[in-house]
Amino acid sequence: MITMRIATINDLEQMVELYIDNNVDLSRDLNQMRAGLKTLLTDQSKGCEVLAESQGKIIGRIHVATEWSVYRNSNFWLFENVYVAPEWRRQGVYSIMHRWIYDRAKADPTCCGLRFWALENNQPARRAYHKMRMDAKMVELFENDFVYGKNNP
C-alpha cells in the first residue's frame, strides 16, 4: 500500500539521502544541500516535498515549487527533482504521486496548472509526463547559476 503526505523536518536526513541517491554531484557541498532542504521543510513559502511511502519507507518524492503567472493571476505548481526508488520504478508510484498533487492543485483556486522541466535526454521522465497527459513545449532553460554555474558574465 502506498500513502502520500507532505514532508516535515523529521524527514530531513532521509530526504538528504534521497537527494544524494537521485542526482547530487558529490563534489558539491552536502552541508549546503542539507541546509537548503531544512529551509524548504520549515518554510512553506519555498514549496514542499511530496512523499510517497510504503511500510514507513519513503519510496518517492517530488519537490513542488510555485511559479507566478502574471497572465493567469495565479501560480503554476512546478515539479522539480522527481524521484522514485529504483526498486519501485515502473510500478505506478509516479502516477500515484502525480494524481495526488493534481487533485490538490485542481482544487486550489490559487493554482492555475502544473509544470515540469525535463532534460531532453531524460526519455523515461518524458514518457511518464506524456502518460499523465501533459503537453511538452519546445523551450530551453537559460540561467546564470551563481552557485554552481561556470559561465557567469
Give the N- to C-terminal CA distance of the chain in Å, as an integer. Answer: 50
- Say if residue 153's pLDDT is above 60: no
- pLDDT number for residue 112: 92
* Pairwise pLDDT comparison (148 vs 57), residue with the higher score: 57
- pLDDT number for residue 145: 61
Q: Which of 1, 117, 113, 101 is nearest to 48 (CA)?
A: 101
The structural domains of the chain, ordered by start, are 3-131 (3.40.630.30)
Per-residue pLDDT tens over the stretch 6-55: 999 999 999 998 888 876 565 567 888 899 999 999 999 999 999 999 99
Query: Mean pLDDT across the stretch 124-136?
Result: 67
Cα angle 14-60-117, degrees, rounded to a multiple of 5: 110
- pLDDT number for residue 48: 96
- Say if residue 125's pLDDT is above 70: no
**3-state DSSP of 42-86:** HCHHHCEEEEEEECCEEEEEEEEEEEEECCCCEEEEEEEEEEECH
* Pairwise pLDDT comparison (135 vs 142), residue with the higher score: 135
- Say if residue 87's pLDDT is above 80: yes
Q: Which of 56, 66, 51 is nearest to 19 (CA)?
A: 51
pTM for the whole thing? 0.80
